[in-house]
Amino acid sequence: MTDVADETTARVGVTASPATSSPQAQVAGRASARPAAPAPGGRRGTGSALRKRLEIAFFVAPALLLFLFFVVVPIVRAVQLSAYRWKGYGPLVDFVGLKNYVSVLNNDVFIGALQHNLIIVVASIAIQLPLGLAIALLLNRKMWGQGVLRTIIFVPYVLAEVIAGVVWYQLLQPKYGVIDAMLAAVGIKGPAQGFLGTPEYALWTVIVVLTWKYLGLAVILFLAGLQSVPEELYEASQIDGASWWQTQRKITIPLLGPTIRTWAFLSMIGSLQLFDMVWILTGGGPANATTTMATFLINEGTKRQNYGIAGAASVILFVVALVLALLYQRFILRRDIQDPASRKKVKA
């Protein structure tokens, strides 16, 4: 059985050593795919070791440079800014230590934003997982219009976030919007302030739109995962007289496990960094009912010129995402990312 994680590592390995016949180059290629690993060897002839190192340096340098300028430098800069009170004018002189962090963590708006992010993380997985799975299982059966249905499900994901957001914003307008009009036609009166304008409904409305937008990704990933479930297992279960439902529960879903876990990981990180859809639909309102950590730091940074506060908030967002990602890898993705050698042992 192959899974998404295996496929990705395999593909990275192949693309990193582009059709060369030299074994050294292949070693270099593999090393470049995993830059964190220390360069092996060094006991063989010093000449070849040096050469190998040069090759490694040559292949890794462009990627490392990009990583340095577009990832490391901004992170360091954000950490630096977070220790100063700086309004965007003049040099960084007003050092305040951890005061910005204290102020962010004591800020009700930020704590509210963090809660919204966590609600969205949980709700996205809790809603999209069963729904996506059900649709993927349905679409995996041979039936009329399968291709069209798959496309329809996937279209929202392909649409640009901004366009989808503006369309939903218009649909959800109170009184004039299509959704209110449709509800009115069947005798239901929408909330007077509109779905996006009522603090109690706004976050859930955003979650509904997010579900519509990202369900397609879940379905496509699950469908891809389903392709890798061996046909023989289904045949075997049929011979054993298992019902369709039993087959799904005992064979399909367990074998989809790695795909589901990887998807949930992506969904979680996406939810933590959520910005554009919220920004377009509500701008974080009404009355901060839908702020996320990202909208908070944009507001503080670009609108109020509190670059220190925004820096501290971005560092906190980074730490929250990093900790959750590491915990997830440690406890849930562990089975999927063991190296192939030990996996074989487990299987045997």
Interacting residue ranges for another protein, rule: CB under 8 A? 87-91, 99-100, 103, 106-107, 109, 173-176, 192-194, 196-199, 282-283, 285-289, 299-300, 303-306, 309
Instruction: Compute the least distance from the CB of residue 212 to another protein, in Å.
Output: 19
* Rounded distance between C-alpha atoms, residue 196 and residue 305, angstroms: 27
Vertex 304: Cα angle to 301 and 307 (nearest 5): 35
Instruction: Compute the least distance from the CB of residue 298 to another protein, in Å.
Output: 12
- Residue indicated by tokens 């074994």: 23
Nearer to another protein (CB atom), residue 90 or residue 187: 90
Instruction: Compute the least distance from the CB of residue 99 to another protein, in Å.
Output: 8
Instruction: Compute the least distance from the CB of residue 110 to another protein, in Å.
Output: 12
Nearer to another protein (CB atom), residue 175 or residue 334: 175
Nearer to another protein (CB atom), residue 237 or residue 306: 306
Q: Which candidate, 116, 86, 118, places its Cα nearest to that of 310?
A: 86
Nearer to another protein (CB atom), residue 270 or residue 285: 285
CA 166 to chain centre: 22
Instruction: Compute the least distance from the CB of residue 175 to another protein, in Å.
Output: 6
* Rounded distance between C-alpha atoms, residue 262 and residue 240, angstroms: 31
- Residue indicated by tokens 């479930």: 229
Nearer to another protein (CB atom), residue 210 or residue 217: 210
Nearer to another protein (CB atom), residue 259 or residue 288: 288
Q: What is the DSSP letter of 84?
A: B
Nearer to another protein (CB atom), residue 117 or residue 299: 299
Amino acid found at 155:
V
Please answer whether residues 20 and 26 qualify as being in contact, where contact means their C-beta atoms are separated by less than 8 angstroms. yes
Instruction: Compute the least distance from the CB of residue 174 to another protein, in Å.
Output: 4
Instruction: Compute the least distance from the CB of residue 290 to another protein, in Å.
Output: 11
Please answer whether residues 234 and 251 qualify as being in contact, where contact means their C-beta atoms are separated by less than 8 angstroms. yes
Q: Taking every pair of C-alpha atoms in the chain, what is the biggest distance, in angstroms?
A: 84
Q: Is the dihedral of CA 79, 85, 87, 88 positive or negative?
A: negative
Strand partners, 84: 95
Query: Who's near 230: CB < 8 A, 6+ residues apart?
Result: 1
Q: Is the dihedral of CA 161, 166, 171, 175 positive or negative?
A: positive
